[in-house]
Amino acid sequence: MSTVESQDYVRIFDTTLRDGEQSPGASMTSEEKLEIARALSRLGVDVIEAGFPASSPDDFAAVRAIAERIGRDPVPGRPQAEPPIVCGLARATKNDIERAYEAVKVAMRPRIHTFLSTSPIHREHKLRMTKEQVIERVREMVARARELCEDVEFSAEDAGRTEPEYLWEVASVAIAAGATTINLPDTVGYLTPFELHAMIAGVKKNAVGVDRVILSVHCHDDLGLGVANTLAGLEAGARQAELTINGIGERAGNAALEEVVMALAVRRDRMNLRTGIDPTQITRTSRLVSAHTGMLVPPNKAIVGANAFAHESGIHQDGLLKHEKTYEILKAEDVGASGTRLVLGKHSGRHALEKRLAELGVTMDQPALDQAFSAMKALADRKKHVTDADLLALVSSERREE
Ligand code: KIV
Ligand code: ZN
């Protein structure tokens, strides 16, 4: 059994270039997409959803270029690894499916990803189709995709709000027609983790032929539950997670790749699941995506925010200086960031000041340190952060006054 087939392996399907690009204002040029796709390959993702080829000639060209280059080139930094699967999105129509295949077919491992809504609200108001018509369309379009390509993913859009028995039937039909991955998106970010778990467990138990396919989770963040829901889906048996770098995507975004991957790594003791991601590439990839989409990463964002490894309070700083695990469950270096920062501010303590001064080459006796500490606190009341330049100025003025 290869690593990818083993039961504890979670495939990471990155949709930064497709669902992520659907963030308002985040559109990218083909060159930028190619650069991100190369970074994703280096990061170790299993699948790159490169775009939606039927949506525009530009999207078609970008997907084609990624299939040609990233889908065939050796993985940067890992010459033994196979290039990632390159996937193109298609509505459940012949034209979309054929365009998607045209764009991805040059990749070593192409995938067609076709989708159709299954929830009552989408069937009645968006598609204006009956349950039976939806089933028939799924059967025909998955079969058409499978005539073209061995690797076919089917997504039941708005699965989260679909009647469970009907969802099992749709999944069974898609599997019988040749789908190799069944994705169950919480398209509008509506479910709670227990409900998401139940949805995946229900399909796993009741869909006919489910043992032949990979189940996949795709969670949106409208209620801030995208990552929690993804983890719940994996605990229920899904073995593919659809994610974006920095959690960008439609509306409030998608579940963030870096958060899911690091949750699996840090809490392997609980979940016992693995990915093929090289975490040391996370920070670099996050910065690249932020630069090319113009979407800034909030400072308090988990894993990749500027403050993710910064500590200001004296109690925390003191604890960390005694043992790093007191207040850190992972290290900045684990994700390729430049290290824990002890930020000097009004909550900081004497130990952190002494350590920073020593790093700047300044050693002081106790009375001088006490004076510098009072001066630093007074400054921190007026200013949010005390910088190294502030510290050096403060210490030299203290010394002048002596
Ligand atoms: O959120 C969603 O349902 C999607 C599908 C197209 C997979 O992005
Ligand atoms: Zn989505």
Structure tokens at 133: 């018509």
How far is 58 from 289, CA to CA, in rounded Å?
Answer: 19
| Pocket-testing residue among 16, 17, 19, 199, ligand 1, by greatest number of atoms within 8 A of Cβ | 19
19 annotated ligand-binding residue: yes
Q: How confident is the model over 67-104, as pLDDT tens digits?
A: 999 999 989 888 889 999 999 999 999 999 999 999 99
Predicted confidence at residue 402, as pLDDT, reads 57
Closest C-alpha to 78, from 32, 45, 33, 50: 45
With a 6 A CB cut-off, is 218 part of the ligand 1 pocket? yes
Predicted confidence at residue 351, as pLDDT, reads 87
Whether 113 shows a pLDDT value over 70: the answer reads: yes
pTM for this entry = 0.94
Tell which wins on pLDDT, 120 or 356.
120
Closest C-alpha to 171, from 240, 121, 218, 118: 118
Q: How confident is the model over 264-300, as pLDDT tens digits?
A: 999 999 999 999 999 999 999 999 999 999 999 999 9
218 annotated ligand-binding residue: yes
- Backbone angles phi and psi of 267, in degrees to 5: -105, 35
* Chain centre distance of CA 278: 13
What is the band of 66 on the pLDDT scale with cuts at 50, 70, 90? very high
Predicted confidence at residue 397, as pLDDT, reads 73
Helix (H/G/I), strand (E/B), else coil: 297 = coil
How far is 63 from 339, CA to CA, in rounded Å?
Answer: 36
Q: What is the DSSP letter of 109?
A: S
Contact 153, 216 (CB under 8 A): yes
Whether the ipTM is more than 0.85: the answer is yes
Nearest CA to ligand 1 atom 7: 155
Helix (H/G/I), strand (E/B), else coil: 365 = coil
With a 6 A CB cut-off, is 117 part of the ligand 1 pocket? no
What residues have CB less than 8 Å from 193, skipping those under 6 apart?
225, 228, 229, 231, 232
Span 156-173, average pLDDT: 98
With a 6 A CB cut-off, is 187 part of the ligand 1 pocket? yes
Predicted confidence at residue 30, as pLDDT, reads 95
**Gap between the terminal Cα atoms of the chain:** 73
Contact 99, 53 (CB under 8 A): yes
With a 6 A CB cut-off, is 157 part of the ligand 1 pocket? yes
Contact 241, 233 (CB under 8 A): yes
With a 6 A CB cut-off, is 49 part of the ligand 1 pocket? no
How far is 188 from 121, CA to CA, in rounded Å?
Answer: 12
Q: How confident is the model over 170-215, as pLDDT tens digits?
A: 999 999 999 999 999 999 999 999 999 999 999 999 999 999 999 9
Q: How confident is the model over 209-244, as pLDDT tens digits?
A: 999 999 999 999 999 999 999 999 999 999 999 999
| Pocket-testing residue among 91, 113, 116, 155, ligand 1, by greatest number of atoms within 8 A of Cβ | 155
183 annotated ligand-binding residue: no
Predicted confidence at residue 79, as pLDDT, reads 86
Rounded percentage of the chain residues whose pLDDT exceeds 70: 98
Site of tokens 């409900």? 195
Whether 398 shows a pLDDT value over 90: the answer reads: no
Predicted confidence at residue 314, as pLDDT, reads 86
Q: How far is the CA of 131 from the centre of ligand 2 (A)?
A: 22
How far is 354 from 23, CA to CA, in rounded Å?
Answer: 45
With a 6 A CB cut-off, is 13 part of the ligand 1 pocket? no
Q: How confident is the model over 295-349, as pLDDT tens digits?
A: 999 999 999 999 999 988 888 988 998 999 999 999 999 999 998 888 898 889 8
What is the band of 384 on the pLDDT scale with cuts at 50, 70, 90? confident
The length of the chain in residues reads 402
How far is 107 from 151, CA to CA, in rounded Å?
Answer: 12
Ligand nearest the Cα atom of residue 243? 2
How far is 204 from 200, CA to CA, in rounded Å?
Answer: 6
Closest C-alpha to 337, from 297, 397, 391, 366: 297
Indicate if the alpha-carbon torsion angle 217, 222, 228, 229 is positive or negative.
Answer: negative
246 annotated ligand-binding residue: no
H-helix or E-strand containing 242? Answer: strand 240-243
| Pocket-testing residue among 16, 116, 218, 240, ligand 1, by greatest number of atoms within 8 A of Cβ | 218
Predicted confidence at residue 395, as pLDDT, reads 83
